[in-house]
């Protein structure tokens, strides 16, 4: 019978097992448990699985060894080649550098999950923690990280409702509200929205903010002004063209991502319409390109560098302050007014 201790939430739980206790229970050598812990080969599947189960059940806690290699964090990032990922990764790198920590980066697959062999590399590297940027882990990988007391933080501006890991998001509802309120204040009444995927919390929250701003101003909601999208440029081209060539076109379009907004730019151009003279456009994200396009894009800023810094801060503190495991931080969004929004022509 293991002694009971209080954990950070005040509940009692079994004290953490040591390596040799796990080895004794599994009836294998300490070296074998060590191999499994560090993701090495030379252990049968059956034994590996038995040891994995014990590590999890017995709440094994790897002592922080006098780290002989340089400290690392592992970052798994969705769509690593997107401008969005570029900003996130570069923010985490800056924060990691300030902490004297090296950053290992891997791209997630289309499914938002890592390549199957990713977890082996992580276990062998023994990082201080793992940051998931709009990425997900299968339950099996989560368990393997948990059993080795490697903390996980989700930096997920899209607020996907997933795992138990603490997360850093951003205020999507407020963002949607701010963007729409700005267009209303300029005098627009016919304001359309192109949304993100229905399955993402972020899309729902931005759409909800849009509706709330219209409501507050007493502007009736028009179903035909709400167009579905997936945060991609193509959405903006297709829906923008359709909206702007309709019988009663909107005078302003709120796109749920900067890339969608660029698509609306293209739609307007192909129809011979000028921005903001003929139609106002507001984007979302404030990627670097937002200020490079013509006209520079009015958009909602998602504070990616600040989020990256918070994620880095959190992941380095989780081991010592497990109560942080329950935290969910939403960082403030703000409106950046540039030249793509103006009063409608009367």
Residue 306 binds a copy of itself, judged by CB under 8 A: no
Chain-centre distance of CA 254, in angstroms? 22
CA–CA separation, 247 vs 304, rounded Å? 39
Residue 89 binds a copy of itself, judged by CB under 8 A: yes
Residue 116 binds a copy of itself, judged by CB under 8 A: no
**Phi and psi torsions of 260, nearest 5°:** -60, -45
Q: Which of 17, 23, 37, 39 binds a copy of itself (CB under 8 A)?
A: 39
Beta-carbon-side half-sphere exposure of residue 319 (alpha carbons within 13 Å): 16
For a copy of itself, the closer of residues 128 and 213 by Cβ is: 128
The minimum distance between CB 213 and a copy of itself, in angstroms, equals 28
Cα→Cα distances 52→63, 89, 123, 128, 142, Å: 17, 31, 12, 20, 12
Residue 259 binds a copy of itself, judged by CB under 8 A: yes
The minimum distance between CB 184 and a copy of itself, in angstroms, equals 27
CA–CA separation, 236 vs 254, rounded Å? 10
For a copy of itself, the closer of residues 103 and 150 by Cβ is: 103
Residues contacting residue 97 through CB under 8 Å, at least 6 positions apart: none
Residue 117 binds a copy of itself, judged by CB under 8 A: yes
Residue 281 binds a copy of itself, judged by CB under 8 A: no
Longest dimension (CA), the chain: 82
**How are the residues of the chain apportioned to helix, strand and coil, as percentages rounded to the nearest 5?**
40, 15, 40
For a copy of itself, the closer of residues 50 and 94 by Cβ is: 94
* Contact region with a copy of itself (CB under 8 A), list: 149-157, 185-193, 248-256, 292-300: 292-300
Footprint of a copy of itself (CB under 8 A): 38-39, 68-70, 72, 74, 80-83, 85-87, 89-91, 93-94, 97, 100, 102-107, 115, 117, 120-121, 124-126, 233, 259, 262, 265-266, 268-270, 288-289, 292-295
């Amino acid at each position: 019978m293991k002694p009971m201790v209080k954990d950070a939430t005040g509940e009692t739980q079994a004290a953490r097992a040591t390596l040799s206790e796990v080895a004794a229970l599994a009836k294998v050598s300490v070296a074998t448990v060590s191999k499994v812990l560090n993701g090495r080969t030379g252990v049968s599947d059956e034994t590996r699985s038995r040891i994995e189960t014990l590590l999890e059940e017995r709440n094994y806690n790897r002592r922080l060894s006098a780290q002989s290699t340089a400290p690392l964090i592992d970052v798994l990032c969705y769509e690593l080649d997107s401008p969005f990922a570029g900003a996130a990764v570069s923010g985490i790198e800056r924060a990691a550098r300030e902490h004297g920590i090296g950053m290992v980066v891997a791209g997630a697959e289309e499914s938002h999950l890592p390549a199957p062999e990713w977890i082996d590399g992580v276990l062998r590297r023994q990082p201080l923690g793992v940051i998931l940027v709009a990425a997900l882990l299968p339950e099996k990988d989560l368990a393997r990280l948990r059993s080795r007391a490697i903390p996980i933080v989700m930096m997920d501006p899209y607020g996907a409702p997933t795992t138990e890991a603490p997360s850093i998001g951003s205020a999507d509802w407020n963002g949607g509200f701010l963007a729409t309120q700005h267009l209303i204040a300029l005098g627009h009444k016919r304001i359309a929205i192109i949304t993100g995927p229905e399955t993402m919390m972020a899309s729902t929250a931005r759409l909800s903010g849009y509706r709330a701003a219209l409501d507050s101003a007493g502007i009736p909601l028009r179903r035909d002004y709400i167009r579905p999208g997936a945060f991609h440029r193509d959405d903006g081209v297709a829906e923008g063209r359709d909206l702007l060539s309709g019988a009663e076109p909107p005078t302003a379009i709120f796109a749920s991502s900067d890339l969608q907004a660029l698509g609306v730019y293209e739609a307007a151009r192909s129809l011979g319409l000028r921005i903001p003279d003929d139609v106002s456009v507001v984007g979302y994200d404030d990627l670097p390109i937002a200020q490079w396009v013509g006209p520079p894009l009015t958009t909602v800023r998602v504070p990616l560098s600040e989020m990256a810094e918070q994620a880095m801060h959190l992941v380095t503190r989780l081991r010592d302050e497990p109560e942080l495991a329950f935290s969910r931080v939403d960082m403030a969004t703000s409106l950046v007014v540039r030249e793509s929004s103006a009063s409608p022509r009367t």
